[in-house]
Structure 1
């Protein structure tokens, strides 16, 4: 049980790079020497291997490439036109800086020494942005602006365990039990197979492929390259049914599993650098009201209610339609949707490029689309959202009448 918890709370490539996600991907790192010849392995055995992995130390280079199918230049321009770059937050704050990873291609250097010490450096030409976690300290440094961000956990507190188990729920005690649970959860909606081998960052790896069995999902497949020797995930690829570039393609180009030097995780602010303390910044934001909803008590058209941001958020609520890969969340704002022609002019072109007008038994509305997540906003204020196709959203709205 202890070993399983230890492994599950520190899957290095995902935890350190922040790519679960989520939604970040990477340029393929396959070597030219061809696929390695490895012993056959079943999907269950490979899942067990991942679960049994206890990788605590590594260093290497990580490449990230993401294609969400969004006109991000237009989005950036629109946001800049409305917000003007103002906002109260530090430009070196990790919560802001790392959002750059949701688009384009990026190279990162990564080092990790257990759950208490990690370092990530985002390379951008001659400039570097470093994020260092060492015990209770988190440092971020942007060489371009010569700014430093520092946050320290209050004395006597422990770092939160991201894999805290709710009362009454226990993690499987062995890798085999965990693999059994994963395959059981997949059920009739998911296909999990081993599809050959690959060479990733000079390491022999198996390819674990996860595919929806249900029609209507925008996900074509999820592919994970797993180190054949130690079970560490080395590469993650998320493909859309639309084809083209992967939505997420993330992996190591170089990796070393030996213990990094302790000096890799030490940091001292350079002379003359501007230092922002996270706790002080938070207090200042609360004092001047920077964290208040910029739209006031409610978002336009009751959207504040729909997403729990307005004063009347108890009107709506989230209902789940379907299951598995075609699950759709329905949110009823209780108010007509805002008209796109009433949006600020900086947004109108962007909204038109993102949205498709649709009609059906439900009435009329607009489907806002990416390569993975789509959302139908009906003119009467209902929202249907999921990793499903436009037709699946329309069908769900029609059936909900």
Structure 2
């Protein structure tokens, strides 16, 4: 069934329920993990295409059966975060080098979070559900994640390190088995993945319209514009360029309500819908390449964490988990309320903890804005899209909403 086709069906009811958490989890997740681009692709003319309604275009996307493609994607991230060494990119967000004891620089769980900042060129290929490849190209190096059948390989040419996981063993540090099936959650890498996240957040809080036509990567496309109907969201509009022939999203752009350059803009510069060569998904580490197995890495990381402190109670381990998540409101102005561990108290004061690196503390201070309300006092951490309020009583309120909306939610809570 196409999205939004029936609001009174069982699937429609589930979708309406999902809308309550789709924005903070999906849209904000996209923002935090891979957002922002000074528009990378210039239009080469507006093609004359048959008229189409927004509903028809959404259904065209949903019906798209594209399973085979290859191409080049340009993506740039600009949340408006200050540049403080590696803090904003790798140090704070989990990226950067992790080679040596207990880690691997080729681990996708950390490496792909580098897409959260700066401009990147990606090469992508897909041949059905069992074969995909994503490569992040640098001036003098390349990082690739290859899924071929039961195997997931990642290779970092800069460090000559490889990472290997079987689907059944996964690649999360906790040993769970979902990670090996696809790239880490929250790191959409193609326009279709970005679009899918937004489509999940639809409903009566969202307006859809067709905003003309364009050409992307030499292909005729319709422009689907998605806007919040609600006031108070920091999202201005999402524009998706949809291939007129196949229904495949070719370009994705998210602009903030505050104006200025796009917060997200990712699109194909080249695309081919032919079946990629089987050799595209072949990988065998060269002699001398350091290979880290997922299960061995998980064991090593568990060993590094060691035993839990004696004064740490079991119920404290649950704090900050999804079981404590409460969603306030719905649609684009949804706010996620979460209880934080006691150690997070320093965040409410606009600083970190003794264990936090100096660069990270400086980074947090640069984002923080002290606020007060009926809830007490706390600090709002802001980007161009996502705002987070951390209160002194150990709660966090996060969403793609204004600071005032967060304070209002905290007062009500």
TM-score, normalized by the shorter chain, greater than 0.5: yes
Cα deviation per residue 1:249-298 (whole Å; 9 max; x = unaligned)? 11100000001111111111122211111122223333x24387799838
Residue 249 of structure 2 corresponds to which residue in structure 1? 233
The DSSP-based 3-state class of the residue aligned with 1:73 is coil
Residue 8 of structure 1 corresponds to which residue in structure 2? none
The 1:31–1:67 alpha-carbon spacing in structure 2 relative to 1, beyond 3 Å, is closer
Q: How does 1:88-237 map to 2 (within 5 A)?
A: 88-154=102-168, 186-187=203-204, 189-237=205-253
Residue 369 of structure 1 corresponds to which residue in structure 2? 382
Cα deviation per residue 1:13-54 (whole Å; 9 max; x = unaligned)? xxxxx9798534556454553111111100010011111110
Q: Kindly indicate whether the alpha-carbon contact (under 8 Å) linking 1:78 and 1:347 is maintained by their aligned counterparts in 2.
A: no
Give the Cα separation in 2 of the matches to 1:292 and 1:284: 13
Instruction: Give unpaired runs (5+ residues) of structure 2.
Output: 2-28, 170-176, 183-198
The DSSP-based 3-state class of the residue aligned with 1:49 is helix
The 1:395–1:248 alpha-carbon spacing in structure 2 relative to 1, beyond 3 Å, is same
Residue 191 of structure 2 corresponds to which residue in structure 1? none
Residue 325 of structure 1 corresponds to which residue in structure 2? 332
More deviation in 24-33 or 271-280? 24-33
The 1:303–1:200 alpha-carbon spacing in structure 2 relative to 1, beyond 3 Å, is farther
Cα deviation per residue 1:310-357 (whole Å; 9 max; x = unaligned)? xxx98xx33222111111122345969334457344444222211111
Residue 172 of structure 1 corresponds to which residue in structure 2? none
The DSSP-based 3-state class of the residue aligned with 2:212 is strand
1:263 aligns with 2:274: no
Residue 269 of structure 2 corresponds to which residue in structure 1? 253
Correspondence for 1:337 among 345, 349, 363: 345
**TM-score for the superposition, normalised by structure 2:** 0.75
Correspondence for 1:297 among 301, 312, 334: 312
How many positions carry a matched residue from both structures?
A: 354
Cα deviation for residue 158 of structure 1 reads: 11
Give the Cα separation in 2 of the matches to 1:31 and 1:276: 41
Give the Cα separation in 1 of the matches to 2:43 and 2:341: 57
Q: Kindly indicate whether the alpha-carbon contact (under 8 Å) linking 2:242 and 2:249 is maintained by their aligned counterparts in 1.
A: yes
The DSSP-based 3-state class of the residue aligned with 2:142 is strand
Q: Kindly indicate whether the alpha-carbon contact (under 8 Å) linking 2:90 and 2:114 is maintained by their aligned counterparts in 1.
A: no
Cα deviation for residue 184 of structure 1 reads: 11
Q: Kindly indicate whether the alpha-carbon contact (under 8 Å) linking 1:28 and 1:251 is maintained by their aligned counterparts in 2.
A: no
Cα deviation per residue 1:139-191 (whole Å; 9 max; x = unaligned)? 11111111111112349x999989xxxxxxxxxxxxxxxxxxx799521x211
The DSSP-based 3-state class of the residue aligned with 2:134 is strand
The 1:397–1:283 alpha-carbon spacing in structure 2 relative to 1, beyond 3 Å, is closer
Correspondence for 1:40 among 36, 51, 73: 51
The 1:25–1:100 alpha-carbon spacing in structure 2 relative to 1, beyond 3 Å, is same
Give the Cα separation in 1 of the matches to 2:145 and 2:202: 35
Give the Cα separation in 1 of the matches to 2:179 and 2:360: 40
Query: Of the two, which has the highest radius of gyration?
Result: 1
Residue 192 of structure 2 corresponds to which residue in structure 1? none
The 1:373–1:268 alpha-carbon spacing in structure 2 relative to 1, beyond 3 Å, is same
Give the Cα separation in 2 of the matches to 1:20 and 1:116: 28
Give the Cα separation in 1 of the matches to 2:374 and 2:161: 55
Q: Kindly indicate whether the alpha-carbon contact (under 8 Å) linking 2:350 and 2:379 is maintained by their aligned counterparts in 1.
A: no
The 1:340–1:367 alpha-carbon spacing in structure 2 relative to 1, beyond 3 Å, is closer
The DSSP-based 3-state class of the residue aligned with 2:345 is coil
Give the Cα separation in 2 of the matches to 1:31 and 1:321: 39
Give the Cα separation in 1 of the matches to 2:68 and 2:251: 17
The DSSP-based 3-state class of the residue aligned with 2:52 is coil
Give the Cα separation in 1 of the matches to 2:201 and 2:350: 44
Give the Cα separation in 2 of the matches to 1:262 and 1:153: 20
Give the Cα separation in 1 of the matches to 2:160 and 2:202: 48
Give the Cα separation in 1 of the matches to 2:133 and 2:180: 18
Residue 58 of structure 1 corresponds to which residue in structure 2? 69
The 1:159–1:319 alpha-carbon spacing in structure 2 relative to 1, beyond 3 Å, is closer
State the superposition RMSD in angstroms.
Answer: 3.6
Q: Kindly indicate whether the alpha-carbon contact (under 8 Å) linking 1:92 and 1:149 is maintained by their aligned counterparts in 2.
A: yes
